[in-house]
Homo-oligomer: A and B are copies of this chain.
Amino acid sequence: MPPRLTQYRLCPRSRSIRLALAEYGVEVQLLDENPWEWRQSFLAKNPAGEMPVLEFENGLTLCGAYSISEFVAEEVLPSATTIAPGPPPLIPGNREDRAEIRRLIDWYHGKFDREVTRELLIEKVYSSMRPSGPVAPDPGILRAVRANLKYHLSYTGYLADTRRWIGGDELSFADFAAAAQISTVDYLGEIPWNDYPTVKVWYQRMKSRPSFRALLGDRVPGTAPPLAYSDLDF
């Protein structure tokens, strides 16, 4: 039986782990969970109430993108000498390179998530799912989030402009974290692509990877992404 990944389809951390596992050829069975429901059965798996959660057949349960990504990264330690080359390491390079990659993972899954994606999900998705009836997004919060987003896209543009990949010379989990965050914001129709051409070129490369295909096909009931969302040539 393949491992089971409990996730929410617009959760950027879940998305980054799906990308990483797909790159490694690890097939998972997806279990959908709605983050605003706080179901007891989900809290029994992860008392933190956070996604994703990865469960193996032997009972091992890994909670959260940090724990899972480092667990996967340890599968192929950069110092390991392998005869048949497997997938490239998730956090490649020497100690300094890996510190830089982790700085950027933290940037996207920490700062970007807190200042942009989490707020957008609350205002544009969760608020419309309330049992007591939908609540309209707060225009003041949307304005603040869009100002934050500009700053984050400029910084991503600077990285994309000066490096081969977000974390340095090699593709790494920093790319998956950044692309996952940006893909959720893009699903919500909030990325002004024409203003950030270098971000667009990098994201096009990410979107064209086979690992990305499943994400682009996902839909969440009650929402619809813009037409260009799943278009590889947007």
Contact = CB atoms under 8 A, between A and B. Distances in A.
Interface of A: 47-48, 50, 60, 62-64, 66-68, 70-71, 74, 95-96, 98-100, 102-103, 105-107, 110-111, 114, 155
B155 A66 contact: no
A99 B111 contact: no
Q: How many copies does the complex hold?
A: 2
B155 A103 contact: no
Instruction: Determine the main DSSP class of A at the interface with B.
Output: helix
A5 to B, nearest CB: 15
Nearest to A73: B70
A85 to B, nearest CB: 21
B111 A67 contact: no
B98 A66 contact: no
Given A67-B100, A67-B102, 12 more contacts: A47-B155, A48-B107, A48-B111, A50-B111, A60-B99, A63-B103, A64-B106, A66-B103, A67-B99, A67-B106, A70-B98, A71-B98
A107 to B, nearest CB: 6
22 contacts: A47-B155, A48-B103, A48-B107, A48-B111, A50-B111, A62-B103, A64-B103, A64-B106, A64-B110, A66-B66, A66-B110, A67-B100, A67-B102, A67-B103, A67-B106, A68-B99, A70-B70, A70-B98, A71-B95, A71-B98, A71-B102, A74-B98
A199 to B, nearest CB: 16
